[in-house]
């Protein structure tokens, strides 16, 4: 088990204060996010039908939790991994205008997750998606949206620290932007995770652009499915990628910490290009993909922001199990208890 046990760790808030803090953070942040990006709340599914290409494939190897539906002749349903593609279908169904979007509470089960301080079988996110114009499919527009999301995160930190004075703010005023290729050039001898740690420790908050495609060393910074984020379109400085991750340096654990994965979504050209690169051209015949290729879906930008992760950072917790109720190995629970981490 890969558990980080901070020396001398003691939670700043007891369990009752923690629950109150979670409510405060979730209510405040989602209202700020909604206002900042002009998003309307919608109701989301916990599961979707298998075989339509709607579920998020993540890195392509994670198994979705499936079950048969009696009333549909035992047709299989899958618990969502995320709502990346479902949201785009919903934008079209609701006929959302450019400049506006939707957000929802996404709850998922990822049975193949490797459990540690940040990863749980249970995933909860604010999933959001907004309609954009062709002209807005640019790095400049992506950076603008990232900056506005980061502003909402910092406002949430300010409120939390005002409510609980024992918590001291640590996020920098501004978020630093860097492309994954530039990051590789800075730290050519480090792994992707080590590069994230190094750049986050240096700047405090970072958005790494261009995640999903192979870099100069023949490796990917991290995996991305080929059919939602656009990671092949050439942006500024001749570098590919209109997506990325928001990461911070988290002093409680002494490591980088991902808060959000997001990006401008594929258009027809980048979808076909990325499916070919990943050897998944057969997906063109699936329900979602046919709609996109037939111009039945709007251009969009979207992402997910971890609810438990944001609360964990705001409340200075060392383990995500101090924020959410999930299943953990008995040995992990024992180790965490001994290290001052009281898992719910």
Report the length, in residues, of the chain: 344
Residue-level pLDDT at 60: 57
For residues 242 and 139, the answer to whether their CB atoms sit within 8 Å is: yes
* 316, pLDDT greater than 90: yes
What is the rounded average pLDDT for all residues in the chain?
Answer: 93
Two structure tokens written together for 183: 């990051």
Q: Which of 113, 116, 258, 335 is catalytic?
A: 258
Residue-level pLDDT at 80: 84
Q: What is the mean pLDDT of residues 137-158?
A: 97
Q: What is the mean pLDDT of residues 143-162?
A: 97
Q: Which of 82, 180, 256, 261 is catalytic?
A: 261
Catalytic status, residue 261: yes
Q: Which of 110, 137, 195, 265 is catalytic?
A: 110
* 62, pLDDT greater than 80: no
Q: What is the mean pLDDT of residues 159-170?
A: 97
Q: How confident is the model at residue 1 (pLDDT cuts 50, 70, 90)?
A: low
Residues 64, 112: Cα–Cα separation, whole Å: 9
Residue-level pLDDT at 50: 87
Residue-level pLDDT at 57: 66
Q: What is the mean pLDDT of residues 58-83?
A: 83
pLDDT in tens, 189-218: 999 999 999 999 999 999 999 999 999 999
Q: Which of 120, 224, 231, 109 is nearest to 181 (CA)?
A: 231
For residues 201 and 170, the answer to whether their CB atoms sit within 8 Å is: no
Q: Which of 227, 245, 267, 278 is catalytic?
A: 245
Catalytic status, residue 125: yes
């Amino acid at each position: 088990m890969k558990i980080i046990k901070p020396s001398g760790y003691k939670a700043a808030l007891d369990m009752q204060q923690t629950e109150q803090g979670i409510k405060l953070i979730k209510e405040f942040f989602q209202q700020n996010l909604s206002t900042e990006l002009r998003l309307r709340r919608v109701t989301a599914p916990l599961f979707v039908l298998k075989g339509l290409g709607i579920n998020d494939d993540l890195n392509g190897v994670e198994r979705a939790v499936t079950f048969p539906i009696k009333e549909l002749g035992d047709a299989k349903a899958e618990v969502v991994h995320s709502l990346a593609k479902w949201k785009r279908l919903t934008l079209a169904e609701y006929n959302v205008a450019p400049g506006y979007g939707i957000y929802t509470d996404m709850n998922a089960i990822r049975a193949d997750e490797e459990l540690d301080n940040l990863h749980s079988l249970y995933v909860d996110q604010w999933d959001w998606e907004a309609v954009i114009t062709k002209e807005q499919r640019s790095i400049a527009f992506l950076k603008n949206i990232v900056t506005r999301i980061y502003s909402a995160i910092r406002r949430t930190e300010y409120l939390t620290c005002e409510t609980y004075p024992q918590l001291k703010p640590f996020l920098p005023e501004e978020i630093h932007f860097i492309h994954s290729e530039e990051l590789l050039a800075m730290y050519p001898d480090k792994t992707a995770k080590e590069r994230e740690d190094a750049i986050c420790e240096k700047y405090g908050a970072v958005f790494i652009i261009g995640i999903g495609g192979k870099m100069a060393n023949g490796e990917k910074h991290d995996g991305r499915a080929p059919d939602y984020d656009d990671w092949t379109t050439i942006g500024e400085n001749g570098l590919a990628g209109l997506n990325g991750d928001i990461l911070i340096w988290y002093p409680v654990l002494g490591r980088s910490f991902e808060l959000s994965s997001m990006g401008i979504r594929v258009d027809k050209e980048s979808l076909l290009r990325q499916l070919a690169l990943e050897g998944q051209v057969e997906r063109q015949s699936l329900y979602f993909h046919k709609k996109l290729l037939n111009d039945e879906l709007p251009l969009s930008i979207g992402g997910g922001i971890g609810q438990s992760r944001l609360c964990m950072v705001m409340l200075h917790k060392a383990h995500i199990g101090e924020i959410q109720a999930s299943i953990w190995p008995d040995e992990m629970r024992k180790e965490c208890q001994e290290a001052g981490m009281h898992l719910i």
